[in-house]
Amino acid sequence: MPGAGTDKTKNWIEGPAPVVILVSPQLAENIGAAARAMANFGLGRLRLVTPLQPWPNEKARVMAAGADRVLDNTVVFDSLKAAIADCTLVMATTARAHDQAKPVIGPDEAARILAAHVGAGEKVAILFGRERAGLENHEVALADYIVTLPVNPAFASLNLAQAVLVVAYEWFKHASGGQLPFDTPERSVLASKDQLGAFFANLERELERVEFFRPAEKRDTMAINLRNIFNRIRLTQQDIRTLHGVVLALAEGRKGPAKGGVLDGEAANMLRALIAEHGEAHAPLQTSPVRRLARLLRRNPTEAERTLWIALVNDRRFSGRGFKRQVPVGRHMTDFVSFSLRTVIDVLPEGESEAAARGRAERAAWLTARNYRVIAVRAGEIEKDVGKVLQDLDAAIRPGG
């Protein structure tokens, strides 16, 4: 598998291109990094003039990060004159004015001039100087052009490999016509206004069910604002299908197997009865089984818990009271809890076993001793008339209730 932009399944770009000459480079690591920059932008011929460290050098190979082809073809010369002897055009890169009567150009113009000469079959070269001091005057004198970069004049010196990278980039951009290696994948066809309208109708219908549009007099403005959010995105047909699925999942809940399993109402009742009889509360809160248990119980509510929870979150009397479902309090798992009110709602299942009832009583005593108010609600009452249950809860929670 190709990684980090390197793909060995693709052809290495080879063709007429400038020669890169590093004059007296001090560090092998910089030679390797320069070779990597050359490989990035289609330059394959590297020449070294009196490198300070022995050559070849393993440190350079490490920094080249796979640009071995450039290093393997590197040629070492004893003098700059020998290195440029077969070239018809030479450009010298420098960050300093050398007071020489030569054209001073930027890297983009340099690329255009180099391309014209390379296209005519000439051999051209670009000189880069030492890391510490760059090129000396007599070395710049051998060049036809001076290439410099628009940089901060107070801090103009670039790392050797960085300088090579900038010039190589401009060369390759010009030589390749600036063509990028990949493009955005083709998107699905844009959604029609009819498809958008069907999605908006579906979304607004479900939002009406949960009383999202409040207060009523602002309903139309809120709906328009929602539509404008989606209209600005220019949704595709695939986007619309995905959003329909999102709305459906939020409205009806996830169905079928899911991570951890989703139980039906009867199985959820059995799960809770089993937990109650075997004393789940005796495990320390910090243990991972208790935290996993909280997630399991949240994903598998009984019908009574589901009914009460939906009613709670959609009743404005309980808005802002901070009720949560299946959250541990100390070492105990609660059905519903509001930490701000220090109130626990305990759903009593029908036909509870004696062992489960004892465990529930112990839990209520533990919570009461820690200043939690425990309100017991029978599952049968929730299923019979959840509205009356909410009314009784509201009365009990209010100050003085």
pLDDT score of 171: 94
Long-range contacts of 363-370 (CB under 8 A, 24+ apart): 363/281, 363/332, 366/281, 366/330, 366/331, 366/332, 367/329, 367/330, 367/332, 367/334, 370/330
Distances in Å between the alpha carbon of 181 and those of 5, 172, 243, 278, 376?
Answer: 10, 12, 32, 62, 66
Q: Give 232-270 pLDDT, tens digit per residue.
A: 988 888 888 888 888 877 776 654 433 444 555 565 666
Please enumerate in sequence order all residues whose Cβ is within 8 A of that of 206, keeping only pairs 6 or more positions apart, or say none: 247, 250, 251
- pLDDT mean over 307-321: 83
Whose structure tokens read 């930490």?
A: 339
pLDDT score of 285: 42
Cβ neighbourhood burial of 382 (10 Å; 0-12, 13-18, 19+): buried
- Structural element, H or E, at residue 36: helix 28-40
- pLDDT mean over 29-43: 95
Half-sphere exposure of 205 toward its Cβ, with a 13 Å CA cutoff?
Answer: 10
Whose structure tokens read 């150009």?
A: 105
pLDDT score of 1: 37
> What pTM was computed for the model?
0.52
- pLDDT mean over 152-178: 91
pLDDT at 196 exceeding the cut of 60: yes
pLDDT at 68 exceeding the cut of 60: yes
Which pLDDT band, with edges at 50, 70 and 90, does 352 fall under?
confident
Phi first, then psi: what are they for 383, rounded to 5°? Answer: -70, -30
Closest CA to 375 of 291, 312, 303: 312
Which pLDDT band, with edges at 50, 70 and 90, does 6 fall under?
low
Share of the chain residues as helix, strand and coil, in percent rounded to the nearest 5: 45, 15, 40
Considering the chain, what is the average pLDDT of its residues?
84
Which pLDDT band, with edges at 50, 70 and 90, does 339 fall under?
confident
Q: Lowest-confidence range among 15-19, 113-117, 309-313? A: 309-313
Task: Read off the amino acid at residue 286.
Answer: Q
